[in-house]
Chain A
Amino acid sequence: MPRLSADARHRIRARINGRAIEAEAEPRMLLTDFLRHVLGLTGTHIGCEHGVCGACTVEIDGRLARACLTLAPQIEGSEIRTVEGLAPSPDRLSVLQEAFRRHHALQCGFCTAGILVSLDHYLARTPDPSESEIREFLGGHLCRCTGYVPIVAAALNAAKKLREAKPHA
């Protein structure tokens, strides 16, 4: 691959939430800014901007990633999923999102985008987690208002609903 010069913008191609995108970024642009400012996908939030808080968590090629710890050119050719890709349609919430609403698992909502992406990924792979497993997993996220109790409750409830929806899985 040719060297991408620092002073120019370069074309980046990827798939985001199932849609092919093509947009330009400088090599130093973080994926958070690429998503929000270049593509207008403002669901991904920027909290600490150095990988501690987890608000910007997205999925890259099926693995969780802090968007703020990813350079835009690193995603060339990748498949990305953001919080905008969670709901089944614009007027419906996912099972996990619905559980968050029911359990008041958010107040200001700043950390929520990252936590939803993380838990969506986790529950798809760990259908029957214990409370302590969820708590350890949530250690990768900071929430400064709800105090985690309703977030854990929502996650456990969503896991249960998802299991009920797929009895033979």
Chain B
Amino acid sequence: MKPARFDYVRADTLAEAHAVLAAEGENARVIAGGQTLVPMLSMRLARPKVVIDIMHIAPLAKIAEEKDAIRVGAAVRQAELLEWPALAERQPLMAMALPWVGHAQTRSRGTVCGSVAHADPSAEIPLVLLALKGEIELSSRRHKRRVAAEEFFTGLMSTACAENELIDSILIPSRRVGEGFAFREFGRRHGDFAIVACAAVAKGNSVRLGVGGVADRPVARDLLDLDGSALDDALDTLAWDLEARDDLHASASYRRALVRRLGKETIEEARRCRA
């Protein structure tokens, strides 16, 4: 398994990366940490004419605290965000979920934004971004725009990012007073893809629950003022709405059972942690 031939550009500036994207469109692929793109190249699931390395564009390598959000640039590795001292304080949900992303040996290279760009339905970072109502900042040669996570993930490994655009950074909303968070994941082995992953944000008696690994993209629901059997019913409805399918790893009914069970545990834990 060796990649097909491609040109390689190590972009020093964002403008340089934009220019190649504008000229090559769908024939270009952006490489950051390469933890997903390189296996796709090797298996020849992706055969770009040119690969644009964005890891040496200095402004993309920053984690910045903004008023209500943490801005994570496209060249920030997952391990760097996990090591960022303010993370657990500024956004506990991301701090809880990041250790579940791959293994220490891949988080050290894989980027936060790369996981968002790839949009695997069982990936943790897209799930957390959706649960928190985060945003994705895209740029191209002429434009810059912000897309809500809710609109960004459009289907199985597909996103609102256009051919001539790249992800500049993502905005992870900071924790607000009174919020509680929890993250749970079930897989065969730590570091494997999630069979079901749940992320919950509780505030007052309402809760927003995100579920990954079941539908073709992460899905989040706002569950207002629900407890006891009403909450169980809402989780059951959600489990059926996700249209789980059988695959090698789990049957659809097993996935629905996990959504009901893990979903409830995650919500209860998030409520306990409200502060």
Query: Are B51 and A27 closer than 8 Å at their CB atoms?
Result: yes
* A116 part of interface (Cβ distance < 8 Å): no
Q: Number of residues in B with C-beta < 8 Å to the partner?
A: 39
* B31 part of interface (Cβ distance < 8 Å): yes
* B142 part of interface (Cβ distance < 8 Å): no
Stretch at the interface among B101-109, B122-130, B241-249: B101-109
- How far, in angstroms, from A149 to B10 measured CA to CA in the complex? 43
- How far, in angstroms, from A71 to B29 measured CA to CA in the complex? 14
Interface string of B202-229 (1 = CB under 8 A from A): 0000000000000000000000000000
Query: Are B5 and A26 closer than 8 Å at their CB atoms?
Result: yes
Query: Are B190 and A136 closer than 8 Å at their CB atoms?
Result: yes
- How far, in angstroms, from A141 to B103 measured CA to CA in the complex? 9
* B2 part of interface (Cβ distance < 8 Å): yes
The residue that A6 contacts in the complex, of B2, B7, B108, with Cβ under 8 A, is B7
A-B pair number, CB within 8 angstroms = 109
> Which B50-86 residues have a C-beta within 8 angstroms of A?
50-51, 53, 55-56, 77, 79
Interface string of A72-101 (1 = CB under 8 A from B): 011010000000000000000000000000
Give every chain A residue within 8 A of B38 (Cβ-Cβ).
30, 50-51, 68-71
Q: Number of residues in A with C-beta < 8 Å to the partner?
A: 35
* A65 part of interface (Cβ distance < 8 Å): yes
Stretch at the interface among B39-47, B161-169, B177-185, B250-258: B39-47
- How far, in angstroms, from A50 to B39 measured CA to CA in the complex? 5
CB of A71, distance to nearest CB on chain B (Å):
7
Please name the residue on chain B nearest to A4 by beta carbon: B8
Query: Are B190 and A139 closer than 8 Å at their CB atoms?
Result: yes
Query: Are A70 and B109 closer than 8 Å at their CB atoms?
Result: yes
Please name the residue on chain B nearest to A63 by beta carbon: B108
CB of B161, distance to nearest CB on chain A (Å):
22
Chain B residues close to A by CB (< 8 Å): 1-12, 20, 31, 34-35, 38-39, 41-43, 49-51, 53, 55-56, 77, 79, 102-106, 108-109, 189-191
